[in-house]
Amino acid sequence: MVNMVRYWPSAHTVKTWEGFLKSGARVEGFSKDKKCRVESMQPGDYIIFYICIEKKFAGYAKVCSGCFYNDEPRFQKDRFHYRVKIEMIKCLDNTDMVSFDDIKHELNFYQKHGIKYGVIFNQKPGNLDTSDGIRIISEIDKARGLIG
């Protein structure tokens, strides 16, 4: 059986994104309510980073490990204890992030959920459709980045 690459959304606030970057951006963490999501991630999958409120995609990374639990804080108020090791592929600064509004009409999940798309990034336990993951990463790759 061939293991297909999956694309996982990870929503951040501006504060958690800054904390993640300052901590070295080598481990992505999820809260207890996202435990089933992170336990489903496999090495070779991709995580797509989304900044809430800003409604922008900030970059993506490749998953390099299975899920592990670690409650050692990486930054202030870090409650994201279910973690995977990652390799950051592309990281955009605030001025170069990809606007969700610029590409939303090309994404399957937006066509299905419309203005309720935030559920996909904040609460949905599953991964993105492959075509949506590829489309978002393609736009991130076109942007000028800090890494990649």
What is the DSSP secondary structure assignment for residue 105, as one 8-state letter?
Answer: G
Find the distance separating the first CA and the last CA of the chain, reported in whole Å.
31
User: pLDDT for 15-72, tens place per residue?
Assistant: 889 989 998 999 998 888 888 888 999 999 999 999 988 999 999 999 999 999 988 8
Which two three-digit tokens encode residue 36?
A: 């089933």
pLDDT of residue 146: 66
Residue 124 in this model has a pLDDT that exceeds 70:
no
Sign for the pseudo-dihedral over CA of 90, 26, 45, 127: negative
Distance separating alpha carbons of residues 104 and 73, to the nearest angstrom: 34
CA angle centred on 144, ends 104 and 44, rounded to 5°: 70
pLDDT of residue 129: 87
User: pLDDT for 56-106, tens place per residue?
Assistant: 999 999 999 999 998 887 777 777 889 999 999 999 988 899 999 899 888
